[in-house]
Chain A
Amino acid sequence: MTALLQVSGLSKRFGGFVALDGIDLEVQPGERLGLIGPNGSGKSTLVNCICGTLHNETGSVRFADEALDGLTAHQRTRRGLARSFQLPRPFASLSLAENVRIPILYSVNARAGGHLHGAAIDERCLELLGLFGLAGKARQMPRDLTQIEMRKLELARAMAAGPKLLISDEAMAGLSHAEVDEIIALLIRLNEQGVTVIMIEHIMRAVMEFSQRLAVLVAGKKIADGPPKDIVRDPEVVKAYLGE
């Protein structure tokens, strides 16, 4: 089986600071991968390089058997690579329904054979919001939402692009215990529907519950990659998190 996402030898520096140093990472279709690491280890930079928000100096990103290097962020989204943002970035002047409408208009409709029109778009918007329990607020504005609803909108908008791979960047930071469970259940449900998911998270309980495999970044290097149970016992990982 060929990997859905294949990152090889990826490096990114900001001036003299090496944020990512020769990262290799593979994600299989249908997999649930947890990506962890201390603050500043380069997780978000890696996401930004994979999604095209930042450009990596060396290395390459392949997605669904296609090299993504040189493609802009919107071209990558159209190819089926969607992400949510760590801090929710809703379209503040648009209603919730319109927020999820944007990826439908610009990603789904930009693909061959994916043309939705008029009422079909409205239906799809409601269906997406319904998936995240937001259907009742379709006509409200993002400013009316609570924190968890904001995170759900972020995920709903990412899902609206019809992705093969969803990268969830700390969707649970600052949420309560019950809310974390809710988001985990949502992500697992999406995964069961065939979406490959990379979850970046600090909350270890969530990571352990969700992930089939863990990759650990420390100071821009991948120091471990494997089954979650082995990873948390890995002396390198323990050292990175707790010190010696």
Chain B
Amino acid sequence: MASLADKTAVAAVPGLRALPFTLALIAIAAAIFALGRWYNNSYAFFMGYVVVQYIVLGTAWNILGGYTGYVNFGVTAFFALGAYSTVVLHKLIPAMPLPVMILIGGTLAGLVGLGTGYLTLRLRGVFFSIATLALAVVVQTLIINWDFVGGARGAYVLRPRVAPLIGGDYVQYLFLLMLGMCVIVLATARAIERSALGYGFAAIRDDEAAAEASGVPTLRLKLIATTLSGGFMGMAGAPLPFYVTYLDPASGFSLNYAVNAIAMPLIGGTGSWLGPVIGAVLVGGLQEYLRVTISSAVNVLVAGVLMVAFVILAPQGIIGLFQKRKR
């Protein structure tokens, strides 16, 4: 009897159930960071940043694309919005700490996600995807024509030499922040999967009319998904100007981000939070390796070829392959 009561109490506070998982994530992130500090190689941090950034971006995409089935091609719109909000904030208030900029960039991109969702979610399937593609073009055009952020010329953001609080190279600070975001995004994704929200998302993905008939408020749930997804993409993009130090529309809106953010969850598996992680580590790692060993242009090819191969041969991704074997 007592154990049952305990169970209900735990179930009533969803945050409590997710606590062990979040603590484990934090421990893993701390271990990775400690390892990096011990290894103390700048390049390792630069590479780690890219991979972790793709975990965040891929997971953000997956919250909308994988859980609710709405394929967003406009990843760069949200990602670049975060990046350019940092450019603006840095120009206006140079002393503003980066975590604050990340929050503001994420909030901004989340609001744009909410607005886009409201305007486009009556579109189904491929028509929604085309609308998001148009969004990316619209935002890019606006940025190109906005002189304050450098327009087509781009903007320079000077990266401080030393990291605040933790000392060492600034890229270590960028990596640490990205790890922090990764913990937040993964904990959120997993919490969604195990909550009523996750079931509602799955119902929408499978059959929207049947979901409505079962009492699922489909429009509201889709708006939650677009807001979270857009917001996390914006957060992932916010530190970018400090990472690249020179941001122009061509790199901020690069096709790489969109292709990778879609390819990584598809390759890893869209049904679970682990899918984008596996996809990002595998593809991101491979791309970085090839960038150094073969050429810097080959990495998009890798994502493209892998994505096509997986869509044809293993539509459930790597996770799906393992689940099949278990059955």
A residues sitting closer than 8 Å to B (CB atoms) are 51-53, 72-74, 77-78, 82-83, 85, 89-94, 98, 101-103, 105-107, 109-110, 117-119, 157-158, 160-161
List the B side residues contacting A161 at CB < 8 Å.
214-215
Which of B166-174, B201-209, B256-264, B286-294 is found at the contact surface with chain A?
B201-209
**Contact sample, A vs B, 15 pairs, CB 8 Å cutoff:** A74-B211, A74-B216, A78-B215, A85-B210, A90-B207, A91-B207, A92-B206, A92-B207, A102-B215, A106-B216, A107-B215, A109-B196, A110-B215, A118-B11, A161-B215
Contact of B203 among A53, A102, A118, A158 (CB under 8 A): A102
Contact of A93 among B7, B12, B206, B215 (CB under 8 A): B206
Q: Is B65 an interface residue (CB 8 A)?
A: no
A53 and B212 form a contact (CB under 8 A): yes
Measured in the bound complex, the distance between the Cα atoms of B217 and A106 in whole Å is 8
- Shortest distance from the beta carbon of B260 to any chain A beta carbon, whole Å: 25
Interface size of B in residues (CB-CB distance below 8 Å): 25
List the A side residues contacting B196 at CB < 8 Å.
105-106, 109
Known: A91-B207, A102-B200, A157-B214. 5 other contacts (CB 8 A): A74-B213, A83-B213, A93-B206, A118-B8, A161-B215
Most buried by A among B206, B215, B217, B219: B215
Measured in the bound complex, the distance between the Cα atoms of B196 and A212 in whole Å is 39
Contact of A91 among B4, B7, B8, B210 (CB under 8 A): B210
**Given the known A-B contacts A93-B271, A117-B8, A119-B7, are A77 and B209 also in contact in the complex, defined by CB atoms under 8 Å?**
no
- Shortest distance from the beta carbon of B30 to any chain A beta carbon, whole Å: 32
A102 and B212 form a contact (CB under 8 A): no
**Given the known A-B contacts A91-B206, A93-B271, are A73 and B7 also in contact in the complex, defined by CB atoms under 8 Å?**
no
**Given the known A-B contacts A74-B217, A117-B8, are A94 and B202 also in contact in the complex, defined by CB atoms under 8 Å?**
yes
List the B side residues contacting A77 at CB < 8 Å.
212-215
Q: Is B199 an interface residue (CB 8 A)?
A: yes
A73 and B210 form a contact (CB under 8 A): no
Measured in the bound complex, the distance between the Cα atoms of B206 and A92 in whole Å is 6
Q: Is B218 an interface residue (CB 8 A)?
A: yes
Most buried by B among A74, A92, A110, A160: A74
Measured in the bound complex, the distance between the Cα atoms of B271 and A173 in whole Å is 34
A72 and B212 form a contact (CB under 8 A): yes
